[in-house]
């Protein structure tokens, strides 16, 4: 058993909140090994919390326990849940959409409603606003340490009942693929679309050939141009745009050593659409 | 023994300073387990260093060693100390006010003046500006690894002599509680006051009832309005202000899913006063 | 064996990239202990990546494995290498200048070209843009866990062939020392020069005496003034500039409790020159 506990929040690390969660976990058992996914999820952004989980979860050992606390409804009647993905990892989280991608793309093998009684840090009864510390870190650590099993967390619930955010699938429309811009590669400003590699592959574009990319925000066209479909950034000049397959094997759009998102003020979410088609072959030297 | 060493600094993590401290600690002994409180204390802000310690220290195992290095006087005659809180944890720090809240709120069971001779990384004699690495991380790691005991750090000193920053207690004035705004919940912009729950409870306000909150900066009134005393954020609408009991069981003021601090340009410290009283009962739906 | 793996990137920690690297490493072996140097290297800044390595590497145990991924040429023909410094630590990195300071200042005892076949995470063959996860973290973890030795990474190469960035040495010119501003102490805005303590010592300036510091950006003089050569910050008033010997034992310039870099808009790199000479003795009280 690895005993790994991975924390994700929108708390930042500038105050003591995340550190208190670490302390609680370590107090549960010195055998727990605590790591971070990220604590920089934009506040209350459930979509991004869900995305960062799917981006990373499979790279961790199968018995890893994730705790994700992005929780606009702390104190509301939203349930707390602990689920086991089909790939083995456990996620403890408010049931508010955080599990959208894991449910859809990996599948949930087992789901439990986390009941607070018995799963709450002793002495924390007066605190109603920090379930991340008092309930989630505490329970995640007990799972990671093997002190309790998933079944001990609470009643089994139907995985189908887990809350999902609206999630649009990319589609082929004639000679084009249409999708949405899911998320940014934050530091580099690349656009990560929801177009999976196999769908794009159907266009029959070879490395080094050009594609036409258009980007719309609702009804407004924000960008339209052709660019190379490159295997990697080094295949284009610095400052040149490219289409590539990113590290989660979806289509992405970037400027080599620049920020595509900042260059064209591009955001993310369902209102940000991307269409991509084969461009007429041009000799490009 | 947990062997946990928790570091707090105002160094940030963008350069190599914190990592050098980690390396020094690990070189002392591979058994040390190193964690972060935060490295984003605003530069030289001793008050916030003291606050972040009290916010977290009790959530860590009793034998945890904290090293806090916010040190405007590095190289001055300010002492270095290592103290054991009544709750068991050890803190190694410059004696410059960083221990204010721990001393007042937990109590110091034992205090030692850290003498540099024998408690300094070998080969660091020419370096006078990075005690965090050369003295504090080194000594903290030796304590956490059990290589030395607190008594080996230096002469015992009177806990009463530990330097304290001015710290004002909240008081009841007629039908109001008056306190100060100690610190922000950084990412969310909530105001954390120094008003403890029991003092506030004396006003006899029930959940869901309204209180009047006024905020002054020195003599200028910056904010005055009524808001709900809520058990948790979800009890009010998004965008609505609320008074609640925070995770350290003091009174706090927030905007649900907004930033109270940014909305009204509110800061922290002794010049920022908050008064809270029961508002006339209104039916609020 | 410590099993320590230290990661440095320009990825930031706001998305899942670094966490995926952690997961890969932990999956290689639960015995690996993973740490961060920093993930805030400015994008593609090889110079700073090289500098942060030399700033920290010697403070870590001799068998520590560093993985540094600042890689403007991901997917190009730039080699990947793994080298052992003369001080024992291993660095796995693209061979793009990241090893400049380690090679020059510590020396490289053994260098291997990392061949991808056999050193790549299984199942990652379709991913061409995240060698940090798929190749470097994976190989670094296998080295840290002792699953492979340095010799297993690939063919031995001549350490002299490791790519170096241009690196200028400080020189004595008459009664002055001339050097460059290598890097900032990021959070505090101090200027770290390339002037080593022994070269400066040749000027015969005693603590408390004044030196004249001039700073040029290319041909433009940006700053010229005298200031105290201080043992530590506390030797001057708050707000006063000083020259001191920094934690890597080079000459540095700062404002006590202020930011020299921000005060005078000073940058880093070979175009930023600094000259320092003894100032006429003045009585300064």
Give pLDDT, residue C284: 55
Query: What does the pLDDT look like over C19-76, one tens digit per residue?
Result: 999 999 999 999 999 999 999 999 999 999 999 999 999 999 999 999 999 998 877 7
Distance between CA atoms of residues C25 and C45, nearest Å:
25
Distance between CA atoms of residues C99 and C159, nearest Å:
10
Query: What does the pLDDT look like over A10-32, one tens digit per residue?
Result: 999 999 999 999 999 999 999 99
Q: Please, what is the end-to-end C-alpha distance for chain C in angstroms?
A: 54
* Smallest CA–CA distance from C27 into chain A, residue: A61
**Can you tell me the mean pLDDT for A37-65?**
96
Give pLDDT, residue C285: 58
Choose the mutation target among A11, A56, A208 for the interface with C, i.e. most C CBs under 10 Å.
Answer: A56
Please give the model's pTM, rounded to 2 decimal places. Answer: 0.94
Task: Respond yes or no on whether ipTM tops 0.90.
Answer: yes
C107: closest CA among C129, C130, C84, C126? C84
pLDDT at residue A282 above 80?
A: no
Strand pairing class (B269-278; B210-217):
antiparallel
CB pairs under 8 A between B and C: 106
Query: What does the pLDDT look like over B256-272, one tens digit per residue?
Result: 999 999 999 999 999 99
* Smallest CA–CA distance from A250 into chain C, residue: C127
pLDDT at residue C282 above 80?
A: no
Strand pairing class (C156-157; C108-113):
antiparallel
Partners for A (CB, 8 Å, 3+ pairs)? B, C
Give pLDDT, residue B285: 58
The DSSP code sequence of C252-276 is EEEETTS-HHHHTT---EEEEEEEE
Closest partner residue to B187 (CB to CB) among A12, A30, A72 is A12
Residue B42 has φ and ψ, to the nearest 5°, of: -55, 140
Length of chain A: 285
> In this complex, do C126 and A249 lie within 8 Å of one another by their Cβ atoms?
yes
Query: Is residue B77 within 8 Å of residue B44, measured between CB atoms?
Result: no
**Count of CA atoms in the C-beta half-sphere (13 A) of A69:** 25
Closest partner residue to A37 (CB to CB) among C16, C34, C134 is C16
Choose the mutation target among A70, A77, A128, A130 for the interface with B, i.e. most B CBs under 10 Å.
Answer: A128
| Residues of A in Cβ contact (< 8 Å) with B260 | none
Distance between CA atoms of residues B234 and B11, nearest Å:
36
pLDDT at residue C170 above 70?
A: yes
Closest partner residue to B24 (CB to CB) among C55, C59, C184 is C59
Domain ranges of chain B: 4-161, 171-278
Which tops the pLDDT comparison, C41 or C123?
C41
CB pairs under 8 A between A and C: 106
Closest partner residue to C22 (CB to CB) among A3, A35, A249 is A35
> In this complex, do A247 and C13 lie within 8 Å of one another by their Cβ atoms?
no
Give pLDDT, residue A6: 98
Query: Is residue B87 within 8 Å of residue B39, measured between CB atoms?
Result: no
Q: How confident is the model at residue A254 (pLDDT cuts 50, 70, 90)?
A: very high
> In this complex, do C15 and A2 lie within 8 Å of one another by their Cβ atoms?
no
Q: How confident is the model at residue C125 (pLDDT cuts 50, 70, 90)?
A: confident
Query: Is residue C68 within 8 Å of residue C43, measured between CB atoms?
Result: no
| Residues of C in Cβ contact (< 8 Å) with A183 | 15
Of the candidate ranges A125-129, B57-61, B243-247, C194-198, the one whose mean pLDDT is the lowest: A125-129
Phi-psi region of A159 (alpha: psi -120 to 50; beta: other; left: phi over 0): alpha
| Residue A214 CB burial class (10 angstroms; 0-12, 13-18, ≥19) | middle
Closest partner residue to B75 (CB to CB) among C185, C186, C235 is C235
> In this complex, do B75 and C183 lie within 8 Å of one another by their Cβ atoms?
no
State the residue for tokens 């120094």: B194
Q: How confident is the model at residue B72 (pLDDT cuts 50, 70, 90)?
A: confident
B132: tokens are 């965090």
pLDDT at residue B130 above 60?
A: yes
| Residues of B in Cβ contact (< 8 Å) with A13 | 36, 38-40
Closest partner residue to B247 (CB to CB) among A43, A78, A133 is A133
Give pLDDT, residue B283: 61
> In this complex, do C187 and B127 lie within 8 Å of one another by their Cβ atoms?
no
Choose the mutation target among A247, A251, A257 for the interface with C, i.e. most C CBs under 10 Å.
Answer: A247
| Residues of C in Cβ contact (< 8 Å) with A87 | none
Tell me the sheet residues that pair with A218: none
**Can you tell me the mean pLDDT for A36-50?**
96
Of the candidate ranges A101-115, A196-210, B34-48, B71-85, the one whose mean pLDDT is the lowest: B71-85
Q: Please, what is the end-to-end C-alpha distance for chain B in angstroms?
A: 54
Q: C4-161, what's its fold?
A: Rossmann fold (3.40.50)
C6: tokens are 């230290």
* Smallest CA–CA distance from B258 into chain A, residue: A43
**Can you tell me the mean pLDDT for A72-76?**
79
Sign (positive or negative) of CA dihedral C114, C116, C118, C120: positive
> In this complex, do A38 and C10 lie within 8 Å of one another by their Cβ atoms?
no
Choose the mutation target among A59, A144, A232 for the interface with C, i.e. most C CBs under 10 Å.
Answer: A59
| Residues of A in Cβ contact (< 8 Å) with B36 | 13, 19
Closest partner residue to A38 (CB to CB) among C19, C44, C72 is C19
| Residues of A in Cβ contact (< 8 Å) with B61 | 23, 26-27, 30
Distance between CA atoms of residues C152 and C135, nearest Å:
14
**Can you tell me the mean pLDDT for B21-37?**
97
Query: What does the pLDDT look like over A264-273, one tens digit per residue?
Result: 999 999 999 9
Distance between CA atoms of residues C2 and B275, nearest Å:
54
Residue A140 has φ and ψ, to the nearest 5°, of: -60, -40
Give pLDDT, residue A281: 65
Q: Which spans in A202-276 are helix H?
A: 260-263
Residue B120, min C-alpha distance to chain A (Å): 27
> In this complex, do C75 and A232 lie within 8 Å of one another by their Cβ atoms?
yes
Query: What does the pLDDT look like over C178-202, one tens digit per residue?
Result: 999 999 998 999 999 999 999 999 9
Distance between CA atoms of residues B56 and A164, nearest Å:
34
| Residues of C in Cβ contact (< 8 Å) with B11 | 187
Tell me the sheet residues that pair with B227: B211
Name the average pLDDT for chain B: 94
Query: Is residue C266 within 8 Å of residue C272, measured between CB atoms?
Result: yes
| Residues of C in Cβ contact (< 8 Å) with A36 | 13, 19
Q: How confident is the model at residue B126 (pLDDT cuts 50, 70, 90)?
A: confident
> In this complex, do C23 and A61 lie within 8 Å of one another by their Cβ atoms?
yes
pLDDT at residue B284 above 60?
A: no
Q: B171-278, what's its fold?
A: Elongation Factor Tu (Ef-tu); domain 3 (2.40.30)
State the residue for tokens 């609470």: A154
Distance between CA atoms of residues B142 and B115, nearest Å:
14
> Which residues of C have a CB under 8 Å from any CB of A?
10-17, 19-20, 22-24, 26-27, 30, 34, 43-44, 72-78, 126-130, 133-134
> Which residues of A have a CB under 8 Å from any CB of C?
2-4, 6, 35-40, 52, 55-56, 59-61, 64, 183-188, 197, 230-235, 238, 244-247, 249, 257
State the residue for tokens 């209102």: A271
> In this complex, do A38 and C24 lie within 8 Å of one another by their Cβ atoms?
no
A236: closest CA among A259, A208, A263? A208
């Amino acid at each position: 058993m690895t005993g790994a506990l991975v924390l994700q929040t929108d708390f930042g690390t500038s105050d003591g909140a995340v550190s208190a969660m670490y302390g609680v976990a370590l107090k549960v058992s010195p055998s727990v090994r605590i790591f971070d996914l990220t604590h920089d999820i934009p506040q209350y952004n459930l979509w991004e919390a869900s995305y960062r989980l799917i981006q990373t979860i499979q790279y961790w050992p199968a018995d890893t326990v994730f705790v994700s606390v992005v929780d606009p409804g702390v104190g509301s009647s939203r349930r707390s849940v602990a689920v086991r993905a089909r790939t083995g990892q456990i996620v403890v989280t408010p049931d508010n959409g955080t599990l959208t991608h894991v449910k859809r793309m990996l599948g949930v093998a087992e789901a439990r409603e986390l009941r607070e009684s018995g799963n709450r840090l002793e002495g924390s009864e007066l605190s109603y606003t920090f379930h991340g510390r008092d309930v989630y870190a505490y329970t995640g650590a007990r799972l990671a340490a093997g002190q309790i099993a998933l079944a001990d967390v609470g009643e089994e619930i139907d995985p189908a009942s887990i809350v999902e955010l609206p999630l649009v699938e990319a589609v082929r429309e004639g000679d084009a693929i249409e999708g949405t811009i899911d998320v940014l590669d934050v530091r580099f400003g690349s656009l990560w679309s929801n177009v999976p590699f196999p769908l794009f592959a159907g266009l029959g574009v070879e490395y080094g050939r050009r594609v036409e990319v258009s980007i719309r925000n609702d009804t407004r066209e924000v960008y339209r141009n052709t660019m190379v479909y490159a295997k990697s950034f080094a295949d284009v000049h610095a400052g040149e745009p490219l289409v590539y397959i990113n590290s989660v094997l979806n289509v992405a759009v970037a400027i080599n050593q620049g920020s595509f998102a900042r260059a064209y003020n591009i955001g993310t979410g369902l209102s940000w659409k991307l269409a991509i088609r084969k461009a007429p072959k041009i000799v490009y030297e």
